[in-house]
């Protein structure tokens, strides 16, 4: 005769609170107007300013994309729009706040979104902590 099967019942929840380790900003530069040259130059200048700022802040190459484009309507009045965007990840939240403050006063630039995250290593560790 064999022993009855062992049954284990577990109830409960686990919650691990950890501070964010990364801050992400999505930044857009846009300009509209009747002069294709002026809207293109405005977005190019805003993009150049942001690239210079990020180059100054970064010790490693940062990933950014700069893709100005212009769309127009048929004459008699042509309307043009140019835009580009950056997605930037920060480890230093003080620098993130400094950059955000600079962008708020920068012409033709705006922060479209901000998000927070943990590193992959911390996410793995948090999964282990939640099982303790």
The mean pLDDT value for 34-52 works out to 90
C-alpha torsion sign, points 40, 23, 128, 5: negative
Assign a CATH topology to domain 22-129: Alpha-Beta Plaits (3.30.70)
- Can you give the pTM of this predicted structure? 0.58
Tell me the three-class secondary structure of 2-61, residue by residue: CCCCCCCCCCCCCCCCCCCCEEEEEEEEEEEECCHHHHHHHHHHHHHHHHHHHHHHCCCC
CA 132 – CA 130 distance, rounded (Å):
6
If you average pLDDT over every residue of the chain, what do you get?
80
Q: Look at residue 72 in the predicted model and tell me its pLDDT.
A: 47
Q: What is the model's pLDDT at position 131?
A: 59
Please classify residue 81 by burial: count the beta carbons closer than 10 Å to its beta carbon, then call 0-12 exposed, 13-18 middle and 19+ buried. Answer: middle
For the ranges 42-46, 51-55, 62-66, 77-81, the lowest mean pLDDT is seen at 62-66
């Amino acid at each position: 005769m064999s022993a009855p099967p062992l049954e284990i019942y577990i109830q409960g929840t686990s919650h691990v609170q950890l501070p964010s380790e990364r801050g992400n900003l999505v930044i857009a530069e846009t300009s509209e107007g009747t002069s294709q040259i002026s809207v293109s130059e405005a977005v190019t200048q805003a993009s150049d300013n942001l690239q210079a700022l990020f180059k100054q802040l970064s010790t490693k190459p940062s990933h950014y994309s700069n893709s100005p484009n212009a769309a127009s309507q048929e004459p008699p009045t042509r309307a043009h729009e140019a835009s580009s965007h950056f997605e930037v990840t920060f480890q230093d939240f003080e620098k993130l706040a400094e950059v955000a403050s600079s962008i708020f006063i920068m012409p033709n630039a705006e922060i479209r979104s901000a998000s927070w995250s943990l590193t992959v290593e911390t996410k793995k560790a948090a999964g282990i902590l939640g099982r303790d």
